[in-house]
Amino acid sequence: MQLECDATIALAYKSPLQRARIISESWFSQNVYCLACESDGVTRTKPNTRATDFLCETCGQRYELKTFTKRPPKSLVDGAYAALISRINESTAPTLCLLGRSESWHVQSLTAIHSSFLTPWVIEQRPPLSRHARRAGWTGCNIRLDRIPPDGEIAIIDDGICLPKSEVRARFRCFLPLARLSADQRGWTTLTLSIIRTLGRSKFTLPDLYMREQQFAEAYPGNRHIQAKIRQQLQVLRDLGILSFEGGGRYLLLT
């Protein structure tokens, strides 16, 4: 991967936002490979494609590119709320690629937020634009990065170092089976993993998770079967190879 972007291609554009988009998209299309299959390239989609900037023509994995010099810590501003939610419900949500760059357009990091981790709990609806706005009533969204467990963030370039392609793909593919579940089911799985990670240890018990029932209730208000749901998610996570059952309600994280 070439880590220097060609900033000269955008000299004709005045708007800094437009320049950044042209430079970063050009770099991405020339350097990035598909994370889900063996394809060595992704294709730019037509302008204004709903919640997608790039597509792998081999496997259909979608990518949306976000570029910044300083990553927002908690949430990312994204496009239309309804478009992204419908993509999530259809299991065609994009993988978000967060490109960190220097002022002089040197690529410092590239992190993929796995499409399987984009669930309704992670997408926050913004207030509609006021009736005085040019697009009155339009409703955007925020992507709550703080609600995504570290498993959902896959480093491709870290601190200026390109990680081995095979490792990156292996980490990405581990969570591809979740795409076959409904958005609601995936939401439970990724929330459970997120809460397990906050325990901060590799061994835990069922009561450790039951004690966090309030956190599950916050994401799924009104659900009266939270403990049963937690047990079901532990099985899904075991089948993904994330944890093992040690017997007697004890679990061990494997990754």
* Span of 7-15, 26-34, 63-71, 194-202 interacting with Zn ion by CB under 5 A: 26-34
Residue 86 engages Zn ion in binding (rule: CB under 5 A): no
Residue 32 engages Zn ion in binding (rule: CB under 5 A): no
The nearer residue to Zn ion, 34 or 243, going by C-beta atoms, is 34
Considering only 5, 23, 34, 51, the residue that binds Zn ion (CB under 5 A) is 34
Residue 37 engages Zn ion in binding (rule: CB under 5 A): yes
Q: Strands, DSSP E only, in 86-232?
A: 95-101, 107-113, 123-125, 140-144, 153-158, 161-162, 203-205
What's the min distance (Å) between Cβ of 87 and Zn ion? 17
Query: How long, in residues, is the chain?
Result: 255
For the record, the structure tokens of 130 come out as 């006021």
For 253, the 3-state DSSP assignment is: strand
Rounded to whole angstroms, the Cα distance separating 79 from 77 reads: 7
The nearer residue to Zn ion, 141 or 154, going by C-beta atoms, is 154
8 A C-beta contact, residue 27 and residue 110: no
Rounded to whole angstroms, the Cα distance separating 93 from 87 reads: 5
Q: Which of 180, 194, 64, 53 is nearest to 122 (CA)?
A: 194
Residue 199 engages Zn ion in binding (rule: CB under 5 A): no
DSSP string, 25-51: HHHHHHH---SSSS-S--EEPPTT-TT
Considering only 22, 23, 51, 56, the residue that binds Zn ion (CB under 5 A) is 56
What's the min distance (Å) between Cβ of 45 and Zn ion? 14
What's the min distance (Å) between Cβ of 176 and Zn ion? 10
What's the min distance (Å) between Cβ of 144 and Zn ion? 27
Residue 84 engages Zn ion in binding (rule: CB under 5 A): no
Considering only 26, 29, 39, 92, the residue that binds Zn ion (CB under 5 A) is 39
Torsion angle, CA of 180/139/56/31, rounded to 10 degrees? -130
49 Cβ contact partners less than 8 Å away, ≥ 6 residues apart: none
Residue 215 engages Zn ion in binding (rule: CB under 5 A): no
* Span of 30-38, 72-80, 103-111, 180-188 interacting with Zn ion by CB under 5 A: 30-38
99 Cβ contact partners less than 8 Å away, ≥ 6 residues apart: 24, 27, 28, 65, 66, 67, 68, 107, 109, 110
What's the min distance (Å) between Cβ of 94 and Zn ion? 13
* Span of 1-9, 53-61, 135-143, 153-161 interacting with Zn ion by CB under 5 A: 53-61
* Span of 5-13, 34-42, 103-111, 173-181 interacting with Zn ion by CB under 5 A: 34-42
Size, binding site for Zn ion by CB under 5 A = 8
Residues that bind Zn ion (CB under 5 A): 34, 36-37, 39, 56, 58-59, 61
